[in-house]
Structure 1
Amino acid sequence: MAASMASWTCSRISPLQQKLRTDAYPSPYIRRVSLSLAQLSSQLNLRSKILNPDCGYQQLGIGAKGIGISSLLPRPSDNGRMQMLCKAEANAVGDVPGSASSEMSPFERVVELLTTLFPVWVVIGAAIGIYKPSVVTWLQTDLFTLGLGFLMLSMGLTLKFDDFKRCLRNPWTVGVGFLAQYLIKPLLGFAIALSLKLSAPLATGLILVSCCPGGQASNVATYISKGNVALSVLMTTCSTIGAIIMTPLLTKLLAGQLVPVDAAGLAVSTFQVVLMPTIIGVLLHEYFPKFTEKIITFTPLIGVILTTLLCASPIGQVSGVLKSQGAGLVLPVAILHAVAFSLGYWVSKWSSFGESTSRTISIECGMQSSALGFLLAQKHFTNPLVAVPSAVSVVFMALGGSVLAVYWRNVPIPFDDKDDFKE
C-alpha cells in the first residue's frame, strides 16, 4: 500500500502536518479535528485526503467555511508521522484519485464544470453580443437589474453573520485588499484616462468601472489559481458592502470635473441592486437554513447562466460603437486590468503576505463587477459612451482573470507558505 501511494505522498513533513501531529492527538480517544480552508488551501487541492500509515486515510469534507475531519482517529504510529495524500512531488493539478469529487452527484459535477468554464462562456457571450446582438439585448434596464440583484442574493445565501465577524479577525489582510480595490484601482483608472486623453464620457466610464466592487467571478478564478477562496469570498463581501459609499464617492471625486455625477443616485442604485439583495440572502441563510439548503443547490447553475447573460448583454448593447471605435476603447480597459492584477499582487508581496494571499488579492483587484458599472452608467449618465468601458471590461476581466488563474494553477505554492488568514 505504502509503495503504491509513494508518488502521492509528500516527501517531507510540512508545518501543517506538524500541527496535526501535535494538536490532533493529545490522547488515544475520539477526536474531532477542524482545519480552516485557509490553512489547507495552499497545501492541498480543495479535495484531498490525509493518509495515516496505520489505518489508511480519512476523508476531508468541505463546507462553506472550511474543511473538517470528523471520525474515529487512532493514535499515530510510533514515529508520529502522519502523511498527507497530495500531489506535492509532481506539483500536478486536479483532484486526487478517489477524492470527494468522485462522490459528487452528476448534477453537482455539471455545475462545477460549468462554473469553472465561466471565462469560456463569457467569450462566447461576447462574440454573440458583437455579431448577433439581438440574441442578448433583450436583457435591459429592469431585467438587467433583476438579474444582477439575483446574483447578489445568491452570494448572500452563502454567508452568515459569523462571516462578517471574520473581517474583525483579519483587519490587515482584508484592509489591504479593500485599499487595493478602492484606492489603487480608482486612481489607476483616473491616471489612464488622463494619460490617454480620453473623451469626457469614456474617461468617466473608465473611472466608474474602476470604482466598482469585486465581482463573484473572482471567487471562481481564486479557486482555479489555488488561492485562498475563503479570503476571496470575504473580500468580495466587504467590497460589496463598501460599494454603497465608495463607488459614488470616488466617482464623484474623480469624474465630477468631467461630467455631472449624481452621487446620491449612484448610492441609492448600489444599495438597491447590491446591498439589499445581499442582506436578504444573509438573513435567509441565518434564519431559514433548511430552505436555503434546498435552493442553494440550484443557484450556482442559475448564476452561471445569468452571469453569462449579464456579460453578453452590455457587449450587445454597445456593439455598434465597438465595431466603429474598437481599438481606441479596448486599449484603456486592457491596461487597467493588466496593471491592476500586477499591482494587487506586488502590493500584497510588499505587505509581507504569503503567496496564496497575494494571488487572492491580485485577482480581487483585477476583477470587479463590470455589470454593476454598466447598469449605473445606463441609469445615471445621459451619454451612452459612459457605459462602453464597463461593457469592454466584462471581457477583459474574465479573460485576464482566467489566464492568470490557469497560469498560477500550474505554479506550485510552497509548503511553508505564510498563513495570513484567521478563521
Structure 2
Amino acid sequence: AHRRPAPGPRLSGLPGTPASALSRRDWAPIALLLAACLLAWWLPQALVPLKVAIVPALGLIMFGMGLTLTGAQLTAALRRPRWLLLGVALQFAVMPLLAYAIAGYLGLSSTLAAGLILVGACPGGTASNVMVYLARGDVALSVAMTAVSTLAAVLLTPWLTLWLAGTRVDVPAVAMLLDILRIVLLPVLAGMLLRALLRGPATALARVMPGLSMLLIALIVAIILALNRGHLAATGTVIASAVVAHNALGFALGYVAAWFGGAAPAQRRAIAIEVGMQNSGLATALAIKYLPALAALPAALFSVWQNVAGLALAAVWRRR
C-alpha cells in the first residue's frame, strides 16, 4: 500500500509548499527577474532616471528581513554555534577570494573585477532563506547566518573590498561602512523592533514583504541593466561566465567545507546555499554610489543567476 507523504515544514513569513515538488509560485521570482531584464533591454530610457530609487528600495528590503527575524529562530541556531560560525566564516572567506581569483583568471577590467569582488564581500541574501527551505535544509541556521553575516558586513564588506580591490579602483571604505549602517543595519533593527513591539501589524507586513521584496529586487536589477546596456552587449559573455562560476563554486565549496566539518545533510545544504547566494542588492547600491557605474553590472547579473541556480539546486535536493 502507498501512503500519502506528510506535508513539508513551513517557514514563518514564507509561502508553504508541499515537500514533494516546487510549485509555480516558487519559480515566479525567476519569471519576474527575466521580465525585468527584457524591460531593461527594450526600454532603458524609462528606467535610467529611477537610479535614485535603488538605495531606498534596498532599505525597504532590509526592513522586511528584520520583520521575519525572531529571537526563537536565532536562539535555535546559537545553540549550535559551531555551524553558525563555520558558515559565516566561509561566507566572508570563500566568496571574496573566489571573486578575486576568477577576475584575475578571466582578465576582467579593473572596474568589473572590483564589482565582482564587492559582490563576494557582501553578506548572504534574503532569498537564501527561501532556497534553504525549499531544499529541505536547516532553515533556522540559514536565517541566523543571514542575520549574523548582515551585521558582520558593516565592518567586513568595506575592509574586504578595500583589501582585494583597493589596488584596482579607489574604495572609500569608511564612507561605505557608514552607508551599510544606514541602509542595512538600521532598517533590519527597525523591522525587528516593530515585530517585538507590535506583533500583529508586523506579522501582517511580513506576509506581504517577500513578494514586495522580489518586486524591488527585480526593479533594482532592471535599473542596473538599463544603465549598463551598452557595456552588457560588449562584455556580456565574459562577465556572465564570471558570475556563473562564482555562484557555482560558492555552492560547491560551501557544501564540501561543511561536509569535511562534520555537518549533517540539512546543515550542509543551508551552509552551501548561504555561502553561494549574496546580497546583490547591497552590492548594487554600494557600487552605484562609490564605484564606476559598470561595477554594478556583476551584482545585477548575479542577482538573476543566483535565483535560477538556487531554485534548480533546491529542486534537486528536495527530491533526495
Counterparts of 1:114 and 1:299, CA distance in 2: 15
Counterparts of 1:64 and 1:384, CA distance in 2: 34
Q: Structure 1 115/213 Cα, relative in aligned 2: closer, same or farther at 3 Å?
A: same
Counterparts of 1:224 and 1:168, CA distance in 2: 22
Aligned residue in 2 for 1:401 = 310
> How far is 1:259 from its partner?
1.7
Is 1:7 matched up with 2:23? no
Is 1:366 matched up with 2:272? no
Aligned residue in 2 for 1:419 = none
Counterparts of 2:308 and 2:275, CA distance in 1: 14
Q: Structure 1 184/172 Cα, relative in aligned 2: closer, same or farther at 3 Å?
A: same
Deviations 1:23-51, CA, capped at 9 Å, x for gaps = xxxxxxxxxxxxxxxxxxxx96126xxxx
Aligned residue in 1 for 2:39 = 128
**8 Å CA contact 2:131, 2:310 repeated in 1:** yes
Aligned residue in 2 for 1:199 = 109
SS at match of 1:178: helix
Is 1:45 matched up with 2:8? yes
**8 Å CA contact 2:123, 2:150 repeated in 1:** yes
Task: Look up the equivalent residue of 1:118 and give its one-letter code.
Answer: P
Counterparts of 1:116 and 1:185, CA distance in 2: 25
Deviations 1:81-125, CA, capped at 9 Å, x for gaps = xxxxxx9xxxx7149xxxxxxxxxxxxxxxx96465212221222
Deviations 1:262-303, CA, capped at 9 Å, x for gaps = 100110111111110000011111112122133333323322
Aligned residue in 2 for 1:390 = 299
Deviations 1:216-262, CA, capped at 9 Å, x for gaps = 11112112212222221111111111110110010011111222211
Q: Structure 1 157/345 Cα, relative in aligned 2: closer, same or farther at 3 Å?
A: same
SS at match of 2:191: helix
Q: Structure 1 331/63 Cα, relative in aligned 2: closer, same or farther at 3 Å?
A: closer
Aligned residue in 2 for 1:15 = none
Q: Structure 1 387/295 Cα, relative in aligned 2: closer, same or farther at 3 Å?
A: closer
Q: Structure 1 297/330 Cα, relative in aligned 2: closer, same or farther at 3 Å?
A: closer
SS at match of 1:297: helix
Structure showing the higher strand proportion among its residues: 1
**8 Å CA contact 1:130, 1:315 repeated in 2:** yes
Task: Look up the equivalent residue of 2:20 and give its one-letter code.
Answer: V
Structure showing the higher helix proportion among its residues: 2
Aligned residue in 1 for 2:20 = 93
Counterparts of 1:184 and 1:223, CA distance in 2: 23
Ranked by relative contact order (alpha carbons within 8 Å, sequence separation 6 or more), the top structure is: 2
Deviations 1:301-321, CA, capped at 9 Å, x for gaps = 322322222232222221221
Q: Any stretches of 5+ residues in structure 2 without a counterpart?
A: none
Task: Look up the equivalent residue of 1:385 and give its one-letter code.
Answer: L
SS at match of 1:157: helix
> How far is 1:162 from its partner?
4.4
Aligned residue in 2 for 1:285 = 195
Aligned residue in 2 for 1:264 = 174
- Aligned pairs for 1:232-243 within 5 A: 232-243=142-153
Is 1:117 matched up with 2:44? no
Deviates more, 1:270-279 or 1:349-358: 349-358
SS at match of 1:358: helix
Aligned residue in 2 for 1:214 = 124
SS at match of 2:20: coil
TM-score after normalising by structure 1 = 0.70
Aligned residue in 2 for 1:377 = 287
Counterparts of 2:191 and 2:138, CA distance in 1: 23
**8 Å CA contact 2:21, 2:318 repeated in 1:** no
Counterparts of 2:251 and 2:140, CA distance in 1: 19
Q: Any stretches of 5+ residues in structure 1 without a counterpart?
A: 10-42, 48-61, 66-86, 96-111, 413-423
**8 Å CA contact 1:205, 1:387 repeated in 2:** yes
Counterparts of 1:45 and 1:264, CA distance in 2: 45
Q: Structure 1 403/281 Cα, relative in aligned 2: closer, same or farther at 3 Å?
A: same
Counterparts of 2:315 and 2:129, CA distance in 1: 14
> How far is 1:360 from its partner?
1.3
Q: 1:160 aligns with which of 43, 56, 70?
A: 70
Task: Look up the equivalent residue of 2:9 and give its one-letter code.
Answer: L
Counterparts of 1:362 and 1:193, CA distance in 2: 22
Counterparts of 1:271 and 1:114, CA distance in 2: 33
**8 Å CA contact 1:115, 1:304 repeated in 2:** no
